[in-house]
Amino acid sequence: PRDPNGCPVSARAAAFNPFEPAYMQAPGDYLRWAREQEPVFWSPQLGYWIVTRYEDVKAVFRDNLLFSPAVALEKITPATPEVMGILQSYGFAMNRTMVNEDEPDHMARRRLLMDAFLPERLATLEPMIRALAREYMDRFIDKGRADLVAEMFYEIPLNIALKFLGVPDEGAEQLRQFAVAHTLNTWGRPTAQEQLDIAHNVGRFWQTAQNILDGMRAQPDGEGWMYETIRQHLKHPDVVPESYLRSMMMAILAAAHETTSNATANAFHTLLTHRQSWDDICANPALIPNAVEECLRVAGSIIAWRRQATADTQVGGVAIPKGARLLLVQASANFDPRHFENPDDIDVYRESAVEHLTFGYGAHQCMGKNIGRMQMRIFLEEFVRRLPHMRLVPGQAMSYLSNTSFRGPDALWVVWEPALNPERSGS
């Protein structure tokens, strides 16, 4: 095959397939060859240019005019007419939200909706997160064994997301079943048959989100970010239009919830498989905030994000034609030795850890990054205090949902000896 510039595609570029398990198992390793030999390459299987080095990924993120985020939530596997028909039957109308909006609309909207993310506002969530963490741990702390994903890391970030957004709790149970469908619909490669089921679930997700939104709009004085968004829509309908409200109601649930659940599970897996790092944070919990950054670097929960070139340009010396789509693989950039010394070492003392690209970069950088970080920090603080001797169940295979972008294990089994719990023994 040849790339859109007419150049022959190398065998490794032709073989690149983010839907095979090796990509999810270790995306940084999977693209090591590319960082070294062909840092920007055309993937015929995906129809995207793949960008793998730190400086290139950052440069593309930085210029959101030349590299538009409009394609960020596109279906990476194009919909068949049948799938389109199903989605339409549910009134599905996913449009621009925040993450895929172009300037100048994006910045005007982001400014109007930023207040709830300010550190002093977020600090008010901390006691609730800690209380939930303790309560969930109490349920299993005497059992000596738990799947941390199913028993804690899935649910608490969901609860916190709903609380932050102001979404009534009754919505939670309905919404959680649709999360996987949304991820596969947007970033996965389901078969034609699977796509039909997924389309129905995405359609139901859309309708549920609309019903919740309509309920909230009927009482627009409620507390939470979606209520603030509704009030800004009433005041500035040109900046926060109706279509934004509707699309965001669905998109933000995935953005605020799964990203944090997955990042937490990835962090615990990383630290428990590098026991020295775990022991270091147990001995000195003040290291936890930096350990969180190092975990986001080596095992982030968003591993690749998309942009589209708005003019003929170059990335890393490779010609990129106008209209071309790019997959920026942050999980590869975060292992680039041109930026991080000994990138394969997990080092909770690493000063540059915070320079990872897991939250994106520039004008669209994640608005919720401090909510994610805060939850990860609190969970680690509670575990290193209460279960410092916890271990991974040895030999468990980690499995991941096949998709380009959302990465977190389906389960994370740990064991401990309840009698050694320091709080119980009073030590």
Name residues contacting ligand HEM, limited to 114-173 (CB under 6 A): 164
Under the binding rule (CB under 6 A), the answer on residue 364 touching ligand HEM is yes
Please work out the total of residues on this chain that contact ligand HEM, with binding judged by CB under 6 A. 27
| Window of 174-182, 191-199, 259-267, 391-399 that interacts with ligand HEM by CB under 6 A | 259-267
Rounded CA separation 383/153 (Å)? 12
Q: In terms of CB distance, is 24 or 371 closer to ligand HEM?
A: 371
Nearer to ligand HEM by Cβ, of 61 and 383: the residue is 61
Q: Which stretch binds ligand HEM (CB under 6 A): 296-304, 346-354, 391-399, 414-422?
A: 296-304
Please, which residues have CB within 8 angstroms of residue 183's CB and are 6 or more apart in sequence?
Answer: 254, 258, 401, 403, 405, 406
Rounded Cα–Cα distance for residues 11 and 323 (Å): 25
CB of 370 to ligand HEM, least distance (A): 8
Contact between 61 and ligand HEM per CB under 6 A = yes
Q: Convert residues 311-350 into a mask of x (bound to ligand HEM by CB under 6 A) and - (unbound).
A: ----------------------------------------
CB 336 within 8 A of CB 40: no
- 30, 361, 383, 406: residue in contact with ligand HEM (rule CB under 6 A): 361
Structure tokens at 112: 């109007």
d(CA 254, CA 300): 16
Residues 289/396, Cβ–Cβ less than 8 Å: no
Among 301, 332, 403, 421, binds ligand HEM (CB under 6 A): 301
The residue among 14 and 172 lying less far from ligand HEM, judged by its C-beta, is: 172
Position 54 contacts ligand HEM (CB under 6 A): no
Separation CA 406–CA 346 (nearest Å):
21
At closest approach, how far in Å is the CB of 164 from ligand HEM?
Answer: 5
The CB-of-212 to ligand HEM minimum distance in angstroms stands at: 16
- Residue 75 or 364 with smaller CB distance to ligand HEM: 364
Distance spanning both ends of the chain, measured CA to CA: 65
| 365 is an interface residue for ligand HEM by CB under 6 A | yes
H or E element, residue 167: none
- Is there a contact between 323 and 42 (Cβ–Cβ < 8 Å)? no
**Span interacting with ligand HEM, options 333-341, 347-355, 360-368, 419-427, rule CB under 6 A:** 360-368
Between CA 153 and CA 151 the distance in angstroms is 7
* 302 binding ligand HEM? (CB under 6 A): yes
Round to whole Å and give the CA distance between 142 and 421.
9
In the structure encoding, which two tokens stand for residue 7, read together?
């150049």
DSSP string, 281-323: HHH-GGGHHHHHHHHHHHS-SB--EEEEESSSEEETTEEE-TT
Among positions 260, 270, 403, 421, the unique one binding ligand HEM when judged by CB under 6 A: 260
Q: Which residues contact 387 (CB under 8 A, 6 or more apart)?
A: 137, 141, 416, 421
Q: Which of 110, 130, 176, 204 binds ligand HEM (CB under 6 A)?
A: 110
DSSP 225-288: HHHHHHHHHHH-TTTS-HHHHHHHHHHHHHHHHHHHHHHHHHHHHHHHHSHHHHHHHHH-GGGH
Interacting residue with ligand HEM among 13, 40, 73, 98 (CB under 6 A): 98
- Amino acid letter for position 278: W
Decide if residue 253 touches ligand HEM (CB under 6 A).
no
Among 3-11, 80-88, 311-319, 355-363, the segment contacting ligand HEM (CB under 6 A): 355-363
Residue from 43, 232, 259, 308 binding ligand HEM (CB under 6 A): 259
Rule CB under 6 A: which residues touch ligand HEM?
61, 69, 98-99, 110, 164, 255-256, 259-260, 263, 300-302, 305, 358-362, 364-368, 371-372
